[in-house]
Structure 1
Amino acid sequence: MMSEANSRPPWGLLPKDAVELLRAKYWNNTKSLKGLLIGNKEFPIKVPLKPPKGNAALNNISHFQEFVDSWKSICEQAQYESKQVNVRWDTVTFRSLSEQRLPAYLIIPDISSLARMLGDAEEQQLSDWQSRIAYIFDSLSIEFVKRTDHSIRSTYERELFSALVVNLETLSDFSDADAELLVKLIPQLHKGMGRGCYLRALPVIFVDTKFIEKNLRFIESVTAAVIDCSVVEMGLLNWLDCRDKPKDWLLVRPLCKNSADSFGGLPLLRMSSETLLDFELPAKNILVIENEQSCLSLDNIPDTITVSGGGKNVSWMRADWLTNKRVGYWGDIDSEGLCILSDVRSRLSTVIPLMMDSETVEAFRDRMVNEPESVTREPVALTDRERMLFRMLRNGDYGNTRLEQERLPMDFVYEKVRLWAGCGVLEL
Structure 2
Amino acid sequence: MKLPNEVHALLRRRFDNRHREWFNAPDTGEDWPLTIPLGVPTEQAAKTRLDAALAWVRAWQTWRGAGMLQWTERQWRTLGTQRVPESLRLGGVRDVAAWLDEVERWDRARGRQAGMVRRWPVLTGRLGRFFDVLADYADPDFERLIATLDWLERHPDSGLYLRQLPIAGLDTKWIEARKGVLADMLCHITNRADIPGDFHALCGLRRPPVRLRMRVLDPALRARVGGLGDLTVPVNELDQLDLAPRHVVIVENLQTGLAFGDLPGTVLFMALGYGVDLLARVSWVRGAHSFYWGDIDTHGFAILSLLRAQLPAVRSLFMNESTLLAHRALWASEPTQHAAHELPHLDPVEQALYHILKQHVLGSAVRLEQERISWDIAWPALNDALAKVD
Correspondence 1:301 to 2:264: yes
2:190 aligned counterpart, secondary structure: coil
Moved more, 187-196 or 166-175: 187-196
**Residue 89 (structure 1) aligned with residue 71 (structure 2):** yes
Tell me the equivalent position of 1:158.
124
Tell me the secondary structure at the aligned position of residue 331 of structure 2.
coil
Q: CA deviation at 1:385?
A: 6.7
Q: How does 1:98-137 map onto structure 2 within 5 Å?
A: 98-118=80-100, 122=101, 125-131=102-108, 133-135=110-112, 137=114
Find out whether 1:183 has 2:146 as its counterpart. Answer: yes
Letter of the aligned partner of 1:39 in structure 2? A
Cα distance per residue 1:25-79 (max 9 Å; x no partner): 32xx2x31223333266322111011123533333333333333332333xxx4x
Change (3 A) 1:333 1:90: closer
C-alpha spacing 1:413/1:127, structure 2 compared with 1 (3 Å): closer
1:18: which partner in 2? 7
* TM-score normalised by the chain length of structure 1: 0.67
Aligned to 2:48: 59
Aligned pairs for 1:350-365 within 5 A? 350-352=313-315
Please tell me whether Structure 1 or Structure 2 has the larger radius of gyration of its CA atoms.
1
Which secondary structure state, in structure 2, belongs to the residue aligned with residue 189 of structure 1? helix
Contact 1:329 1:341 in 2 (8 A): no
Residue aligning to 1:34 = 20
Q: Give 1:168's match in structure 2, choosing from 121, 131, 138.
A: 131
Conservation of the 8 A alpha-carbon contact between 1:136 and 1:179:
no
Assess if the C-alpha contact under 8 Å between 2:239 and 2:284 holds in 1: no
What does residue 6 of structure 1 align with? none
CA contact (8 A) 1:286 1:307 kept: no
Deviation at 1:106, TM superposition (A): 0.5
Summarize the alignment of residues 248-397 of structure 1 with structure 2, pairs less than 5 Å apart.
250-256=212-218, 259-271=221-233, 275=235, 279=239, 282-290=243-251, 291-293=253-255, 295-296=257-258, 297-299=260-262, 301-302=264-265, 304-310=266-272, 314-319=276-281, 321=283, 324-331=286-293, 341-352=304-315, 368-370=326-328, 371-373=330-332, 381-383=345-347
Q: 1:4 maps to which residue? A: none
Q: Is the 8 A contact 1:332 1:405 kept in 2?
A: no
Choose from 161, 165, 171 the match for 1:208: 171
Aligned to 1:148: none
**Is 325-334 or 177-186 further displaced after alignment?**
325-334
Q: Is residue 248–residue 285 contact of structure 2 (8 Å, CA) maintained in 1?
A: no
Q: Does the Cα contact within 8 Å between 1:312 and 1:340 map onto a contact in 2?
A: yes
The alignment covers a number of residue pairs equal to: 366
Residue equivalent to 1:406: 375
Structure 2 residue runs of 5 or longer lacking an equivalent are 363-367
CA drift of 1:172 comes to 4.3
Alpha-carbon spacing, 1:46–1:298, altered in 2? closer, same or farther (3 Å): same
Greater relative contact order structure (CA < 8 Å, 6+ sep): 2
Q: Hey, what's the Cα distance between the residues in 2 that align with 1:352 and 1:58?
A: 82
Residues 241-276 of structure 1: per-residue CA shift (max 9 Å, x gap):
335557x8643122345533554443211246xx26
Q: Identity of paired residues, percent?
A: 21
